[in-house]
Amino acid sequence: MYKKRLLFGDKQSAEEVLLTDDPERQQVIGRNAKGYNRLLWEGARQAIALRGILAKFEQNEDLKNRLLETDDDYLWNVQERIRSGHAESG
């Protein structure tokens, strides 16, 4: 969310994202972006995410090794969000 905020020139919200370690709060801040441009975000989000993922594994040797141990296996991300007592796939 930090990079998303910076992409749209919203430095104040970007700083707010860094002030919390609560992912839900970070999502709220990100959704209320000033200057949001859907086309710009759709063009930039994959590159931003890739840089973040690379940094995550470069900074954590244990995670990097666990990832490398998966070899050619397919990796899946499955998550559930709970809203109003109902699970949603997301």
Give pLDDT tens digits for 30-89. 888 789 899 999 999 999 999 999 999 999 999 999 999 999 888 887 766 655 555 454
The tokens of 36 are what? 């949001």
Distance, CA of 35 to CA of 8 (rounded, Å): 5
Give the closest residue to 42 by CA, choosing from 71, 13, 15, 8.
Answer: 8
Q: How many domains does the chain have?
A: 1
Residue 29: band (very low, low, confident or very high) from pLDDT cuts 50, 70, 90: confident
The tokens of 19 are what? 């002030």
**DSSP-derived 3-state class of residue 80:** strand
Which pLDDT does position 84 carry in this prediction? 53
Structural domain for 63, as ranges: 2-89
Question: What is the model's pTM?
Answer: 0.66
Which parts of 16-85 are beta strand (E)? 80-83
Which pLDDT does position 61 carry in this prediction? 95
